Amino acid sequence: MLPAPLSNLLVLSPHCDDAVLACGEMLEAHPGSVVATVFAGCPPAGAPLTEWDRAAGFQAGDDVMGARRAEDLAALSLLGATPQWLDFLDDQYPSSHADADVRRALDGLIRARQPAALVVPLGLFHRDHRTVHEAAMEVALDHRDRTWVLYEDVNYRRIPGLTAQRLHSLEAKGAAITPVSFPVRSPSPRKMQAVQCYRSQLRALLSHGRPGYADAFAAERYWRVAWNR
């Protein structure tokens, strides 16, 4: 279990839904947490509907990100958490942002929020997940006085060996990795209810050829990361 205090907890989520799917039980155990979603920006008006958004049930002209933010707000409210949405665009939309822009935004967020602890994705497989993870680990070097915790990305953690590969890579870069646990209720009926708020994303995850979302209800796993250099 992590040392107290964790009353001022900041969770980084690549997209609206990732934090709840991966960390819903932990969020329920720490009411008052803030979930900052990095890729929550709205694509330009008139942008073509993407294949994913079509699978999620959206139609041309819909306010896709407005709907997804509303889903996120509903889910996080059930868990006692507060959303903060950054304006970077999801990888499915054309974008000109650089990884350095994400790093600067996360650094500014930490300085503004002054969290006691941060919970960030391992950054498995998906480009946006990797970007958030790598930016967070860069920024962590300037904020070593805070507690840093890693969580597994739902569905991508099912790819054999991927979690172990990421942890070994961090250790090779000089990080000390320690498994940690939270006093959570598992399985959590409240998390199950919160997950159902993401109607559009669950619809897409259940579409042909996609993995579904049962993995969201497998055990949540966390590691503390501390830098030795």
Give kind and range of the element (H or E) at residue 20: helix 18-29
Residue found by looking up tokens 């498995």 in the block: 124
Q: Six-digit token pair at 152?
A: 């597994």
Which candidate, 56, 46, 135, 35, places its Cα nearest to that of 94?
A: 46
Structure confidence at residue 101 as a pLDDT band (50, 70, 90): very high
Confidence (pTM):
0.95
**Distance between CA atoms of residues 201 and 199, nearest Å:** 6
Between 5 and 156, residue with greater pLDDT = 156
Furthest CA-CA distance within the chain = 50
- Give DSSP secondary structure letters for 102-166: HHHHHHHHHHHH--SEEEEE---SSHHHHHHHHHHHHHHTT-TTSEEEEEPPTTGGGSTTHHHHH
pLDDT of 6:
66
Sorted by sequence, the CB contacts under 8 Å of residue 214 that are 6+ apart come out as: none
**Distance between CA atoms of residues 14 and 126, nearest Å:** 10
Q: Are 203 and 126 in contact (CB under 8 A)?
A: no
Cross-strand bridge partners of residue 11: 35, 119
Structure confidence at residue 89 as a pLDDT band (50, 70, 90): very high
**Distance between CA atoms of residues 88 and 86, nearest Å:** 6
Please give the domain boundaries of the chain with CATH numbers for all domains: 9-227 (3.40.50.10320)
Q: pLDDT digits over 179-216, tens only?
A: 998 877 777 999 999 999 999 999 999 999 999 999 99
